[in-house]
Amino acid sequence: MLVTLAIAMGIAIQNEPVRAVRPQNKSAFFYAGGDPSEIPEVEARGGVYKVGGKPVDPLVAMKRAGFTAIRLRIWNQPKDGFCDLAHTLVMAKRIKQAGLKLMIDFHYSDYWADPGKQYKPAAWKELKSKELEAAVHDYSRDVIKALDDQGTPADVVQPGNEVTNGMLWPEGMLHINSDGWTEFMALNKAAIAGIREGAGKHQPKIMIHIDQGGKNAISRFWFDRYFALGGEADIIGLSYYPFWHGTLQELQANLSNLAKTYKKDILVAETAYPYVKDNAGPGLNPDPVPGFPASPEGQAGYLRKLTAIVKATPGHHGVGVLWWAPAWISAPGRAGGWRRLTLFDNQGEALPGLSSFGPVR
């Protein structure tokens, strides 16, 4: 069983004491943005993004709409070629040229990594223990160095995506009663050491990202253990989807508790909301949050409300909101991958939500 299941079932788990941490800068930059890693694939298939009916570079449109940061997922050797290092380097140039911060999300996989699957890249399949740690270190170093060498250093880096249940299974899998943490922490520290080495003079902030943004018991268990074992994080990242991770009120309570407990900056690293009713979506209710119908205006209202909640986190520790796959629209001959949760409609036209972050500090 995994950590999340253990807590959901009410299994008693002993928390470790929390390591002392220093307060963060109270005038922190606000990462208003998203993870549109799908843009190269959509564009390659003929998809076009528009504002007011006129074709636009989606990254430029995002910057004009109030975005300040873009996160890119990176896979080791993806079968379709997208989200690899080559595409990441090209996108990094576009992001910096648009005047946006660059955030890198290592999945340490050839495909999606999330709480339900954290599979090793094929090239690392037979690696164990120290060999696997060395591979994670060297790969992290080489990617971050390649970005720095081309003049597009990463501003924030995640060593793993939604690592609630660990990463690089089976070696780095986390179980109930804290099983698995020794190897997970060895892999985590190897990754961060590689990131630090590759970055040179342009040291990024390190974000540790789990899901369950509205679940305080899970979040506290996880980060209590992580920091007690010497884990490093400049930013705590939480995924929050209102159709999976609790109410907005539960999210707000969790943000408040985490900020007061760890004195760390916190970011909603993934969120999304439908702009049209869709009973066939990924576990969706037609209107996930009361007061915000599944409509263009409801979607925009949800983002404004969520951003306000994050900015109200005690100690000014709420430092960002990232929309997941805001640009994963349909392209000729291929349906969009994120159904009706994008910030462009399936004809490529920008929705009101694109410009709904409001003033950013």
Return d(Cα 4, Cα 219) in angstroms, integer: 9
Return d(Cα 297, Cα 36) in angstroms, integer: 21
Return d(Cα 53, Cα 293) in angstroms, integer: 25
Return d(Cα 49, Cα 140) in angstroms, integer: 32
Q: What share of the chain is helix, strand, coil (3-state, %, to 5)?
A: 35, 15, 45
Give just the sign of the alpha carbon dihedral 281, 286, 289, 293.
Answer: positive
The answer to whether 270 is a known catalytic residue is yes
Backbone φ and ψ of 197, nearest 5°: -65, -45
Judging by beta carbons within 10 Å of its beta carbon (0-12, 13-18, 19+), is residue 131 exposed, middle or buried? exposed
- Three-state DSSP at 347 gives coil
Crossing angle of helices 181-199 and 129-149, in 10° steps, is 30
Backbone φ and ψ of 302, nearest 5°: -60, -45
The answer to whether 349 is a known catalytic residue is no
Return d(Cα 171, Cα 151) in angstroms, integer: 35
- Three-state DSSP at 309 gives helix
Return d(Cα 253, Cα 269) in angstroms, integer: 17
Question: What is the token pair recorded at 131?
Answer: 């060999």
Return d(Cα 130, Cα 127) in angstroms, integer: 8
Annotated catalytic residue, options 38, 41, 133, 162: 162
Crossing angle of helices 248-262 and 216-228, in 10° steps, is 20
Return d(Cα 175, Cα 103) in angstroms, integer: 29
Just list the catalytic residues. 162, 270
